[in-house]
Structure 1
Amino acid sequence: MSAFTVRGKFQSRDGWQEFETSIEADNEDVAEERTYTNFGSYHGVKRTQLEIEEVEAQ
């Protein structure tokens, strides 16, 4: 597994908030999917409220 940095923004009550998170995954697609999963479970953000702008290997 490799480490990836995922950057983007999500919609909150106050408008769009930027985020940057590190994810352990096999490839960029899995890192993006885990980001959607984590934001949904921890923050209650739906996929339509999350925009991933960049997935970068560390």
Structure 2
Amino acid sequence: MSQFTVSGRFQSREGFSEFETSVEAPNENVARERVYANIGSQHGLKRPQIELDDVEEVSAA
């Protein structure tokens, strides 16, 4: 599995809040799904309230 860094923003009471998180996933699509699930469950949000800006694979060095 690869490590991905995902950044974006989500809707909060004060407007939008920025975030950046790391997830382990076999590919970019699964990484996106895991971030939607994690952020949504932590903050009680639906997918349209979460915007993913960038998904990058972190190279294993």
- Is TM-score (shorter-chain normalized) higher than 0.5? yes
How far apart, in 1, do the equivalents of 2:50 and 2:42 lie? 13
Root-mean-square deviation (Å):
0.6
Normalising by structure 2, report the TM-score.
Answer: 0.91
Aligned residues: 58
Where in structure 1 are there 5+ consecutive unaligned residues? none
Q: Is 2:48 the partner of 1:26?
A: no
Q: Which amino acid aligns with 2:40?
A: G
3-state DSSP class of the match of 1:56? strand
Q: Report which of the two structures shows the higher radius of gyration computed on alpha carbons.
A: 2
Q: Residue 6 of structure 1 aligns with which residue?
A: 6
Shift of 1:13: 0.1
Shift of 1:39: 1.1
Would you identify which runs of 4 or more consecutive aligned residues in structure 1 move more than 2 Å? none
Where in structure 2 are there 5+ consecutive unaligned residues? none
Percent identity over paired residues: 62
